[in-house]
Amino acid sequence: MATSAEDQRNRVEAPAARTAEPFGAGPPAGPLGRRTRLRNRWRVFRQTFGENWLRFKKNRIGVVGLVLIVVFALMAVLHPILMTTVWEDDVYDPVTGHSAQEYEVTVVEEAGDIEDAATQLDLERVQLRHDPTAQVGDTVMIDEQPAPPSFAHPLGTDPLGRDVMSQLMFGAQIAFAMAAVAAITTVGLATLVGAIAAYYRGWTETVSMRIADLFLLLPAVPFLVFISAIYGINVVTLGLIFGIVSGLGPTAILLKSQALAVSVKPFIDAAKIAGASSRQVVFRHVIPNVLPLSFLSMMFTVSGAISAEAILSAFGLIDVPMSWGIMIQTADTAGYILRGFDFWWLLFPAGLAVTLLAFAFYLFGRGLDEVVNPRLRQN
């Protein structure tokens, strides 16, 4: 009977003994401990993400920006799918495609009599380029490019007969690729330089901040135009240069200020007292606490990168097959950019896409700003 009572007591006390671990001992070593740590980190991440998402949803301009970004991302993703499943290469390829679409126009006396450029042409132009026997008031079929929007080409065709919607969707891929390279380069450099300068201080801070001052004073777009004209660059190179200029300049100064606030926190002193090396303190404690502001800076960098890419493409200074800037350049070189609404599909889709995507990242950044900056929260 004594043995049985002792066994019962051990069975009751055993679970309590397993949970009575020393404070701060953490999960055991080995595969079981790694799984436990990963499970705990995932639980914390999910909880933090959920709280931040609820906070972000309350910011309407941030949600509008996110919706616009998703729309453009879908355009970029759907283009290769449409090219392999629905669209024919010889018609809808954004660079080499050509449409021989015919449409009906009414002949008017002079170019100044045209009220709708999509359905009317002046007599001289029709007789010279399409039908020498045409008279005022006749209705003729022409295949002249650029063609206005139609069922086959919802946004019309450009002066070379290429589908504008296909070009617009392909241009979204170029914009996101350029923005991704610029954003990653900017955040990587700025976070590293800012954290190291704030932690080590002294000459390290002095040298890095003077370099940042030089890049801050450098006019980014004229500098990129100069580099492009001299060497010729592609989208990836442009993203790297833009990221370096931004990451070593204004973004580095901003993140250094945040890193300075983090480096004087009590947990940094606790890590030093516990024996953590300087590298461990910087990479395990300072940088992780700067990352929220880094991602916020990344959104504003993307806006600038998209605008810079469009400007350089419009000047023909980037080696890229097609982009929103090249669409504008094509309309300009063909003489349609000053025709206003007569050929609106040549200018407004590309111009509106550049404006909306850059604006969307700015709005999304404003929404994130309220999440990462407690002083901006209303509640």
Model confidence pLDDT, tens digit, residues 320-340: 888 998 998 888 888 887 776
User: Is 151 contained in some domain?
Assistant: no
pLDDT digits (tens, 9 = 90+) for 45-90: 777 777 777 878 888 888 999 999 999 999 999 999 999 998 988 8
Same domain, 256 and 304: yes
Q: Tell me if residue 208 falls in helix, strand or coil.
A: helix
User: Is 21 contained in some domain?
Assistant: no
User: Is 22 contained in some domain?
Assistant: no
pLDDT at 30: 67
Q: Tell me if residue 141 falls in helix, strand or coil.
A: strand
Q: For the beta carbon of residue 97, count every other beta carbon within 10 angstroms.
A: 21
User: Is 379 contained in some domain?
Assistant: no
Name which of 73-87, 101-115, 155-169, 199-213 the model is least confident about.
101-115
Q: What is the CATH number of the domain that holds 211?
A: 1.10.3720.10
Same domain, 117 and 260: no
Which one-letter amino acid corresponds to residue 295?
F
Decide if pLDDT at 19 tops 50: no
Same domain, 260 and 301: yes
Measured CA to CA in angstroms, residue 46 lies from 37, 157, 292, 295, 375 at distances of 14, 47, 16, 18, 23
Same domain, 180 and 69: yes
Higher pLDDT, 170 or 112: 170
Same domain, 117 and 167: no
Same domain, 265 and 194: yes
User: Is 29 contained in some domain?
Assistant: no
pLDDT at 257: 87
pLDDT at 81: 94
What's the structural domain count of the chain?
2
Name which of 90-99, 123-132, 158-167, 316-325 the model is least confident about.
123-132
Name which of 15-19, 109-113, 271-275, 279-283 the model is least confident about.
15-19
Name which of 172-176, 183-187, 293-297 the model is least confident about.
293-297
Q: Quick one: average pLDDT of 266-284?
A: 84
pLDDT at 377: 58
State the residue range of the domain holding 121. 102-143
pLDDT at 20: 41
Give kind and range of the element (H or E) at residue 248: none
User: Is 203 contained in some domain?
Assistant: yes
> Among candidates 198, 205, 199, which has minimal Cα distance to 280?
199
- What is the bridge-based pairing of β-strands 103-108 and 120-122? parallel
Same domain, 111 and 257: no
Higher pLDDT, 11 or 225: 225
**What number of CA atoms fall less than 13 Å from residue 3's CA on the CB side?**
0
pLDDT digits (tens, 9 = 90+) for 338-363: 776 778 888 889 999 999 998 898 88
pLDDT at 101: 65
Q: Tell me if residue 356 falls in helix, strand or coil.
A: helix
**Gap between the Cα atoms of 322 and 158, Å rounded:** 13
Supply the DSSP string of 55-114, one letter for each residue.
HHHT-HHHHHHHHHHHHHHHHHHHHHHHHHHTS-HHHH-TTT------EEEEEESSGGG-
Same domain, 73 and 122: no
User: Is 32 contained in some domain?
Assistant: no
Same domain, 216 and 258: yes
Using pLDDT thresholds of 50, 70 and 90, give the confidence band for residue 308: confident
Question: For the stretch 318-352, what's the b/e string if a residue is b when 16 or more beta carbons lie within 10 angstroms of its beta carbon?
Answer: bebebbbbbbbbbbbebebbeeeeebbbbbebbbe
What tokens appear for 73 in the block?
A: 């991302």
Using pLDDT thresholds of 50, 70 and 90, give the confidence band for residue 1: very low
Q: What pTM was computed for the model? A: 0.74
Domain end (from 143, 176, 193): 143
What does pLDDT average to over the chain? Answer: 81
Same domain, 261 and 367: yes
The answer to whether 253 touches 216, Cβ cutoff 8 Å, is yes
Supply the DSSP string of 300-328, one letter for each residue.
HHHHHHHHHHHHHHHTT-B--S--HHHHH
Decide if pLDDT at 202 tops 50: yes
What percentage of the chain reaches a pLDDT higher than 70? 89
**Locus of tokens 């932690």:** 199
Decide if pLDDT at 6 tops 60: no
Same domain, 125 and 222: no
Same domain, 247 and 208: yes
User: Is 268 contained in some domain?
Assistant: yes
